[in-house]
Amino acid sequence: MRSRTAQEIWDTALGELQLQVSRANYRTWLEKTKGLSYQENQLILSVPNTFVAEYLDKNLRSLIEKTLMGITQSEVRVGFTVDGRSSTIEAEPVQQASMQAVIPVQGIVSRLNPKYTFDTFVVSNCNRLAFAAACSAADKPGMSSYNPLFIYGGVGLGKTHLLNAIGNAAVTKGMRVIAVSAEQFTNEFVTTAIRERKAEEFRNRYRNTEMLLIDDIQFISGKEATEESFFHVFNELRDADRQIVVTSNCPPHSIPEIEDRLRSRLEWGLSAGIRPPDFETRLAILQAKARKDGVELAPDVLSFIAESIRQNIRELEGSLNRVVAYSRLLRTAVTPELASEALRDISCRQPRTSPAPVLLLETVADYFNLELTDLRGSKRDKQTQFARQIAMYFLREKTNLSLAGIGRELGGRQPIIVSQAHKKISAELATDPAIKETIEALRQKLP
């Protein structure tokens, strides 16, 4: 095959690998690789440095070769070169980071992805509050009503995008920004403050920033020393009106094993959830990405992909990449049939785990034009009581929570109340068309 065919094969492989590894691993180790040549069942990849070559050789070779075998229907050996040279296994000083770019700002290193801005974020009912709050935090950092800003939601829904957008906006204003994952914060604390006994240096680095952005804060739960350190950093920054933004896979009250005093601090400002995107939002995301990538696809193809991938924006975009690469490899036009073939084994891999209870409750509340606090509170008007019963029904049907657990999610209600509500809605489903219509409408919206 000609050398350009190697890139086509590798583009197809990248489309699949993007769905099999984490976003951080993909961006750190795979995103900047290129296919150079493919001869005698050996694919040579160009990598940016020997550190990447070493990591891919030791950690991802098996997965890469298995993916290539599925594409070429033959055993493929993979080799790595650095800028066209044979790679050496000699690590260069490159750090793995969940946020891609490293931007020095007045002595502070901020890891931000420059591609993630407010302009590239697709806004919908699923994320409108979180987007508006993020814009406000970026526009007027340090305001008590948005400090801290706590953004939560499932994997791949745009939390990190908003976190980076806030940071990028702050950087353009010349602000000192630190953006790290909770894991990076923990590793730095252990290395600097504990092993090297430079606790004051560690604290100074963080308390002197003007904006602190931490991704996946739930990862510090249960790590007492790290929580203690973050608690003090948090207090110093907020007392100085410095903006704090954190993301998590769940709201503060649902983070397990976290100290109550830190949980209460995280609840001081505004918590904004992001729900899985509805069909219209998924379609808009695909259209935006296709335009950005300069790819022309028929509306029915985009609609097919939007219907096939429902839970995760990252997988949604990765699936579009896969379909495009697949069509280029086969040198044929993209049709819904070809998209179906390209995504054949993905639909069955769609997550079948139970949705987070809080996301389910927020969806029900939004459907009935209520607040989450209404469902959990003491309001007893007819609409609120009905919505609460519907919420109990879906929590029983779609999660693994016990009756007592459902009661706790809804403000501490007794298990017998939950059981009665579930039986009532189940019985009325068979006889009341209005109830059936409500349930079916909510099924389409639920995560």
* Helices of type H across 331-381: 336-342, 357-367, 372-376
Residue 316: CATH number of its domain:
1.10.8.60
Query: Distance between CA 46 and CA 25 in Å, rounded?
Result: 17
For residues 269 and 284, state if they share a domain: no
For residues 209 and 326, state if they share a domain: no
Three-state DSSP at 61 gives helix
For residues 56 and 123, state if they share a domain: no
Three-state DSSP at 440 gives helix
- For residue 34, the enclosing domain spans 3-86
For residues 197 and 268, state if they share a domain: yes
Specify which residues 103 forms β-bridges with. 110
Residue 212: CATH number of its domain:
3.40.50.300
- Of 247, 274, 301, the residue at which a domain comes to its end is 274
Residue 116 belongs to a domain: yes
For residues 221 and 156, state if they share a domain: yes
Residue 400 belongs to a domain: yes
* Helices of type H across 297-409: 299-308, 313-330, 336-342, 357-367, 372-376, 382-398, 403-409
Cβ(62)–Cβ(75) below 8 Å: no
Residue 93 belongs to a domain: no
User: Could you tell me where the beta strands, DSSP code E, fall in 164-321?
Assistant: 177-181, 211-215, 243-248, 270-274
DSSP 8-state assignment for residue 122: P
Question: What is the four-CA torsion angle of 316, 321, 327, 330, rounded to 10 degrees?
Answer: -120
For residues 117 and 214, state if they share a domain: yes
What pLDDT score does 299 carry?
86
Question: What is the four-CA torsion angle of 4, 8, 13, 16, rounded to 10 degrees?
Answer: 160
Residue 410 belongs to a domain: yes
Three-state DSSP at 331 gives coil
Q: How far is CA 77 from CA 35, 43, 250, in A?
A: 13, 6, 42
For residues 288 and 246, state if they share a domain: no
Residue 91 belongs to a domain: no
Three-state DSSP at 64 gives helix
pTM to 2 decimal places: 0.55
Residue 390 belongs to a domain: yes
Cβ(270)–Cβ(146) below 8 Å: yes
What pLDDT score does 111 carry?
64
Q: Could you list the pLDDT tens digit for every one of the 447 residues in the chain?
A: 344 478 888 888 888 888 777 776 787 788 889 888 888 788 889 888 776 787 788 788 888 988 888 787 788 889 888 765 443 332 233 333 334 333 333 334 346 888 888 988 888 888 889 999 999 999 889 887 889 999 998 877 889 999 999 998 988 888 889 998 888 888 888 888 888 888 888 888 888 889 999 998 988 888 888 898 899 999 999 999 999 999 998 888 888 778 889 989 998 889 998 888 888 888 888 888 888 888 888 888 888 888 877 767 877 888 888 888 888 878 888 888 888 888 875 544 444 445 678 888 988 998 888 888 889 998 888 889 999 999 999 998 888 777 888 888 898 888 889 989 998 998 888 788 888 888 888 887 776
Cβ(362)–Cβ(372) below 8 Å: yes
Q: What total of structural domains would you count in the chain? A: 4
What pLDDT score does 3 carry?
44
For residues 231 and 148, state if they share a domain: yes
For residues 124 and 237, state if they share a domain: yes
User: Could you tell me where the beta strands, DSSP code E, fall in 362-412?
Assistant: none
> Which phi-psi region, left, alpha or beta, contains residue 106 (left: φ > 0; alpha: ψ -120 to 50)?
left
Residue 11: CATH number of its domain:
3.30.300.180
Three-state DSSP at 238 gives helix
- Of 349, 374, 396, the residue at which a domain comes to its end is 349
Residue 372: CATH number of its domain:
1.10.1750.10
Q: Nearest Cα to 323, choosing from 298, 288, 348?
A: 298
Query: Distance between CA 422 and CA 412 in Å, rounded?
Result: 16
For residues 252 and 294, state if they share a domain: no
For residues 159 and 222, state if they share a domain: yes
Q: What are phi and psi of 412, to 5 degrees?
A: 90, 30
For residues 366 and 427, state if they share a domain: yes
Q: Are strands 211-215 and 243-248 parallel, antiparallel or unpaired?
A: parallel
Query: Distance between CA 237 and CA 210 in Å, rounded?
Result: 8
What pLDDT score does 93 carry?
32
- Of 212, 240, 274, the residue at which a domain comes to its end is 274
Residue 94 belongs to a domain: no
